[in-house]
Structures are given as structure tokens and as C-alpha cells.
Amino acid sequence: MLCINQNIGSLSALLLFAAPLCVTAEESAEHWLDRTTLYASDDGWFQQLDLSGRLQLDASYTHADEGDYDDVDFRRFRFGFKAALAGDWVAQLEGDFDLNFDGDQFYKRLTDAYVGWQPEGGPDVRLLKHSAGFTLDGATSSKKLLTTERSNLSNNFWFNAEYFTGVSAKGTAGNAWDYRVGFFSSDGNDEFSEFNASFFTLTSLGYNWAQQLQMDQASVRVDYVYNDRDPAANTADLSHVVSISSKWEGGRWGLWTDLAFAEGYFDQPDIWGMTLMPFYQLGENLQLVSRATYLDSDGPNGIGLGNYEKQVVTGRGDLYKEIHAGINWFFYGHKLKWQTGLQWAELDDVGADGGRYAGWTVVTALRVYW
């Protein structure tokens, strides 16, 4: 009972903190969320400088057969700059910082730190450190997730470090095709790669049938990752990953899906999984979302738990099931939103070595980016 009361107090504190911010933002959002330009000029090689960043605040409570957990914390705080240069060149420098002050340092790492070339109607080419996104949620920025957390499919198939040193290009072809190719160093340096591990490649190809089907969106994308095995790699121990994701949207309804397969190496078994995420727009600012996830491992200890579940159980298992229901309140689109989700999850542990989990988690979260 004490934990529940403490958690209710934490949720109340988060509401009290966020409510005036949301009201202020709704009334004057253009003043502080859109006005991020520090410098702009049509002359010279340096043409524009903008602020960039995100602030994400969570209050969570987990109750499981194996134990309880509750906390209020800053999930992410990132801050930096974007620059537009002559000749369609761009640059971005953004850092990840710890506002919880529960570590040794306020500064954690660089996230985006790249130079790029982005001609109008051409490819988006990036060099140095940037996001290597694949799977449905792994390719979706945390700024624009429909749930408070990425699905556990992405947690297990994607490379959660996200930002790697490399080179990539993405773009569109015609009115319906989109593509991305990338080559990245797999080491885990907090700044730029020192090339003390191996590499992985990323290839994505998608097609949108929206025009033919007269829908807002009807896209299917295939992601393929080859990850050269290396014990020093800051990636999941998966040598081949295939994700087939889709987004179907029409009117108020939407359905996003993901089906993934991966071949493990070292002690990681092969795994496969699927996610279904339907959602419904109640109005301009209110959205209902649900999600079902199923993951299966070809052997013991192939599947890990999500962010808050693993605060209770740190072990791994072989069969994972999840049901999620949530609501999103958009004060200023994805730039300022309030998200709340209730999730039930179960992880079987055939190895009986500390991976079993069965419980539910509620998270309420404030999301802001600029």
C-alpha cells in the first residue's frame, strides 16, 4: 500500500508540474516551441542556426508477481544546434544529458553529431554520428512515438544505442518508393567511433499504396541489417535482422504493424516477433492507442524485458506477451503532448534462471521537443 500511495503522489507531482506548462504552451506555443532560430541570413556560407532538443518526463509504477517499482524521472533531455549551410549542406550537434543527477556526470554522450547534404528533392546524406533506425518503433523518433515506450519487439531486435558513427543516405523515388542505405561502426564510444569493434549495414525499402487505395497512408517497408559479429560491438548479438513494418491510416483510424526475424550469435538464440498497434483519433487533440506484442525465442534467455519491467526482473526469458492501452493528448502536435499508458506483460523462462515476469505497468509522461 505504501508503494501505491507513493506512486500516486509521484503522478500527482508530475501533473502539477506539467499542467501550467501545457496551458502556457497551448496559449503561446509559437513563441517558444517554433521560435528556435538564433541566426538567419541569405548571404554567405553560414545561413541559419537553430536550437534543437527534447525533454521527456515520466512517472511510472510497476506491480508484478516478482516485485514492485515506482519512480518519477527525466526519461530524456537532449539539447543542441542545427545549422544550414550554403550548397544544401547541413550540420547538427546534439548531446544527451542527465537531469536526474543520479550518475557521475551531467553530460552523458553525443547523439546527433553529423554533417549532411540535403538538396531539395534529392537524397538526405549524413556522415559521422547519427541515428540508425530500423523496425517500426526503432525507425520512429522518441519525439513521435504513439506510446510512452517503444515496443519490446524493437527493444530486442533494434540496436538500442541508436546513434552510431557511419554514413547513410535516404530519400524517395517517384511518388511511392522510399529507401535508406547505411554503413555504421558498431563500437560503443560516447562520442565518435574509435573503430575498435566491427560494422553493420542497414538497407530499407518501402512503398506507399495510399494513392491507389485512397487512404491517408498505406505503406509497407522492409528493413534488413547485417551485423558483423564482434564481442566488442555495442549492438544486440544478432547477425541478420529482417523487419517488415506497415502503416495503414484512413480518416480517424490507423493500424501500424511489425513482423521481425533475427539470427543470433554467441549465446543469443534466434528470435522472431510481431506487433499490432491500432489507434483511433477521437478529435483533433485526443487519440486512443492500443498494442499487442508477441516474441518467441528458439532457446532459453533470448528475450529481454522493457525499460520499466527490467527494473523488477533483470533476467531474460524465451516467450513474451504484452497488451497495452493508452491515450494521447496533443497540446501542440507531437511537439507538446501528454501520454498515458497501461501495460500488462508476461515473460516465460524455460531456463528457470531468473527471467520469469508477470505484471502490469502504468506510465504517464510529458513529451516536449523543439
Residue 13 has pLDDT above 70, yes or no: no
pLDDT grade for 157, boundaries at 50, 70 and 90: very high
pLDDT of residue 104: 77
136: CB partners within 8 A, 6+ apart: 151, 153, 154, 243, 245, 256, 257, 258, 275, 277
The pTM of this model reads 0.91
pLDDT of residue 32: 78
**Average pLDDT of 239-253?**
98
The separation between CA 167 and the C-alpha centre of its own chain, rounded to angstroms, equals 20
- Asked if 135 and 243 touch (Cβ cutoff 8 Å), the reply is yes
pLDDT of residue 26: 45
Distances (CA, A) of 177 to 88, 207, 236, 254: 23, 5, 29, 21
Q: Which residue from 124, 136, 54, 145 is spatially nearest to 94, judged by alpha carbons?
A: 54
HSE-up of residue 2 (Cα within 13 Å, Cβ side) = 0
Residue 83 has pLDDT above 70, yes or no: yes
Q: Which residue from 234, 222, 214, 140 is spatially nearest to 178, judged by alpha carbons?
A: 222
Percent of the chain at pLDDT > 90 equals: 88
pLDDT of residue 31: 58
β-bridge partners, 30: none
317 exposure class (CB count in 10 Å sphere: 0-12, 13-18, 19+)? buried
Residue 156 has pLDDT above 80, yes or no: yes
155: CB partners within 8 A, 6+ apart: 304, 306, 307
Cell numbers that stand for 63 in this block: 506491480
> What is the distance between the alpha carbons of residues 59 and 72, in angstroms, rounded to a whole number?
4
Q: Please name the CATH architecture into which domain 2-37+53-77+99-105+121-369 falls.
A: Beta Barrel (2.40)
pLDDT digits (tens, 9 = 90+) for 180-221: 999 999 998 999 999 999 999 999 999 999 999 999 999 999
Place of cell 535482422: 241
pLDDT digits (tens, 9 = 90+) for 257-316: 999 999 999 999 999 999 999 999 999 999 999 999 999 999 999 999 999 999 999 999
Determine the 3-state secondary structure of 311 from DSSP. helix
224 exposure class (CB count in 10 Å sphere: 0-12, 13-18, 19+)? middle
β-bridge partners, 49: 39, 83
The separation between CA 129 and the C-alpha centre of its own chain, rounded to angstroms, equals 17
Residue 362 has pLDDT above 90, yes or no: yes
> What is the distance between the alpha carbons of residues 52 and 57, in angstroms, rounded to a whole number?
17
The radius of gyration of the chain from alpha carbons, rounded to an integer in Å, stands at: 21
pLDDT of residue 21: 52
Mean pLDDT of the chain: 93
pLDDT of residue 28: 47
Which amino acid, residue 139?
Answer: A
pLDDT grade for 5, boundaries at 50, 70 and 90: very low
HSE-up of residue 27 (Cα within 13 Å, Cβ side) = 6
pLDDT of residue 314: 96
